[in-house]
Structure 1
Amino acid sequence: MLLVGGVLGVTLAARHLAPLPDLVLVIVASAALASGPRAGFTTGLLGGWLLDLLPPGSAVLGTQAVLYAVCGLLVGLAARPGKAPLVWIVTVIAVACCGLEAGRALLALAQGVPVDAASSLGRVAATATAALVIVPLVDWAEQWSERRRFA
């Protein structure tokens, strides 16, 4: 799922569509909310490495991996036992996206690159909206794979 989200995000970015939802963050947050901080950290690290390697990549290799791993860890701390309401999930993903955008802004400022706040806010809104559709699909896919594994 991370690979599909990463490749789809890069493909849509190449078409200059804006604002783009952060599909990798939605998948990382979904895994973190379902399985806790350890799974969130691991999924975030893998998703960040994927984005570091996919074009255009990162200026410094590993920065996306660290940002996504921290986001996955923190989102995993917000996991609730049982079935969480969709409103809670979308709120947590929006807050995680705000944190990710803040981290990206700090990295950009450290490199002397200008930061577009309107674009960042648009990405947060698009990511929260995409979470409404993607999180139930990821949840269904995880449940389906668990049923097939134990069948």
Structure 2
Amino acid sequence: MTPAGALVRATLLLLGAVLGVTLAARHLSPLPDLLLVVVASAALRAGPRTGLLTGLVGGWLLDLLPPGSAVLGTQALLYAVCGLAVGALRRPGPVSVVWVVLVIAGVASGLEVVRGALALAQGVPVDVLSSALRVLATATVGLVVVPLVSAVERRSERRRFA
């Protein structure tokens, strides 16, 4: 990856994290997981190692942005595992949009299950309908955003900065 590509990916992660936290503060529901869409896009494009690193950095952003995480590093580990899983499901060559949506929906479902288990372990009630709607919203946003993010990353890597 070129430095320009890394800068674009970091900017997209920051944008996804800040936008997600900002919209969550407005109590919009169902709120898609924008950071997961960026992590999935990177993992589908570049593989499991890139997905793991992108998820780790994105999760750290969520851990550090207010309201943060109850245990520092929890989000970083969750998103790193999601990036690794999506990267393992990467297919070489052109990929159908249906595959992208299924992968994002599957990983978003797994993420919601783990978040629900963590909430139950802390004694916090879990709204299953809200979690299901969040998975649906994330998959729908992924349908549109993943091709756009991939195009932006491809274009940034083609450019040569002197």
Structure-2-length-normalised TM-score: 0.90
Per the alignment, residue 147 of structure 1 pairs with: 158
- Which structure 2 residues correspond to residues 1-150 of structure 1 after superposition, within 5 A? 1-149=12-160
Farther off after superposition, 108-117 or 35-44: 108-117
Q: How far did 1:150 drift?
A: 8.5
3-state SS, counterpart of residue 149 of structure 1: coil
Aligned residue pair count: 151
Instruction: Return the alpha-carbon distance in structure 1 between the equivalents of residues 79 and 160 of structure 2.
Output: 28
Superposed structure 1 runs of 4+ greater than 4 Å apart: none
Query: For structure 2, which runs of at least 5 residues remain unmatched after alignment?
Result: 1-11
Query: For structure 1, which runs of at least 5 residues remain unmatched after alignment?
Result: none
Note the aligned Cα RMSD (angstroms). Answer: 1.2
Instruction: Return the alpha-carbon distance in structure 2 between the equivalents of residues 149 and 140 of structure 1.
Output: 16
CA deviations 1:18-42 (Å, max 9, x no partner) are 0000000000011001100000000
Instruction: Return the alpha-carbon distance in structure 2 between the equivalents of residues 62 and 107 of structure 1.
Output: 13
Partner AA of 1:36 in structure 2: G
Q: How far did 1:149 drift?
A: 3.3
Instruction: Return the alpha-carbon distance in structure 1 between the equivalents of residues 82 and 160 of structure 2.
Output: 29
CA deviations 1:8-63 (Å, max 9, x no partner) are 11111111110000000000011001100000000000111111111111111111
Partner AA of 2:157 in structure 1: E
Instruction: Return the alpha-carbon distance in structure 2 between the equivalents of residues 149 and 81 of structure 1.
Output: 25
Q: Percent sequence identity over matched residues?
A: 71
Partner AA of 2:25 in structure 1: A
Instruction: Return the alpha-carbon distance in structure 1 between the equivalents of residues 152 and 79 of structure 2.
Output: 22
CA deviations 1:101-130 (Å, max 9, x no partner) are 011011111111111101100100100110
